């Protein structure tokens, strides 16, 4: 004859499993939001460039001289972080090959945890995994911008690429309005 365990034993087992699942979920959701290296909280402008306040369009006599598209990431990346970098790379090589070749657009994957990348991390104010666009202008100003909307487009590569292509085209045209 089988004996059933007391209800308090079953309740404790269920509670232990539930707690374990909650802790596992918290660890998985943390993904790339934690950073074991230095956390940059100071934005320092690049030499010969002035970090400009937010503007929606550049004055008529000012042009975009260079656009940096930087994928910042930690050493250990989650699937979404890797996807952001891969899709950004695909967008740039597919639609902006000439601009990449000429240096008008610069694309890099930057491990924000490595000491040799500290200056660029500080210049952008990046932390954790993120995609940043930096517009350099003919008047020496620098407009850094983190694009959060790419995270909501990782489910379909073409949708991501179409979105990022539009943002890049706007920035190259001097349109700095929110994307």
Whole-model pTM: value is: 0.71
Domain span at residue 147?
Answer: 50-172
How many domains in the chain?
1
- Which pLDDT does position 60 carry in this prediction? 82
Place of tokens 């700095």: 176
CATH number where 66 lies = 3.40.30.10
In a domain, 157, yes or no: yes
Give whole-number Cα distances, 175 to 13, 23, 74, 168, in Å: 58, 44, 30, 10
In a domain, 160, yes or no: yes
Question: What's the mean pLDDT when you consider all of the chain?
Answer: 81
In a domain, 26, yes or no: no
Query: How many Å is the Cα radius of gyration of the chain?
Result: 22
Give whole-number Cα distances, 62 to 38, 141, 172, 178, in Å: 36, 10, 12, 19
pLDDT tens, position by position, 155-179: 999 999 999 999 999 999 999 988 8
pLDDT tens, position by position, 4-29: 556 666 667 666 665 555 444 443 34
pLDDT tens, position by position, 83-115: 999 999 999 999 999 999 999 999 999 999 999
In a domain, 97, yes or no: yes
pLDDT tens, position by position, 38-47: 333 233 334 4
In a domain, 69, yes or no: yes
In a domain, 29, yes or no: no
- DSSP-assigned letter for residue 57: B
**Burial track 27-38 (b if 16+ CB lie within 10 A, e otherwise):** eeeebbeebebe
In a domain, 167, yes or no: yes
In a domain, 177, yes or no: no
- Which pLDDT does position 45 carry in this prediction? 38
């Amino acid at each position: 004859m089988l004996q059933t365990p007391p209800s308090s034993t079953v309740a404790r087992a269920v509670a232990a499993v539930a707690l374990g699942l909650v802790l596992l979920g918290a660890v998985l959701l943390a993904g790339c939001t934690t950073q074991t290296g230095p956390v940059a909280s100071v934005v320092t402008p690049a030499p010969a460039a002035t970090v400009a306040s937010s503007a929606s369009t550049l004055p008529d006599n000012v042009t975009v001289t260079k656009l940096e598209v930087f994928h910042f990431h930690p050493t250990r990346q989650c699937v979404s972080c890797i996807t952001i970098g891969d899709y950004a790379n695909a967008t740039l090589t597919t639609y902006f090959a000439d601009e990449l070749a000429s240096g008008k657009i610069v694309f890099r994957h930057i491990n924000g945890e490595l000491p040799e990348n500290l200056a660029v991390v500080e210049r952008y104010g990046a932390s954790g995994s993120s995609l940043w666009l930096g517009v350099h202008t003919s008047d020496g100003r620098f407009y850094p911008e983190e694009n959060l909307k790419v995270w909501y487009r990782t489910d379909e590569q073409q949708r991501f690429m179409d979105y990022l292509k539009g943002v890049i085209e706007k920035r190259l045209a001097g349109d700095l309005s929110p994307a």
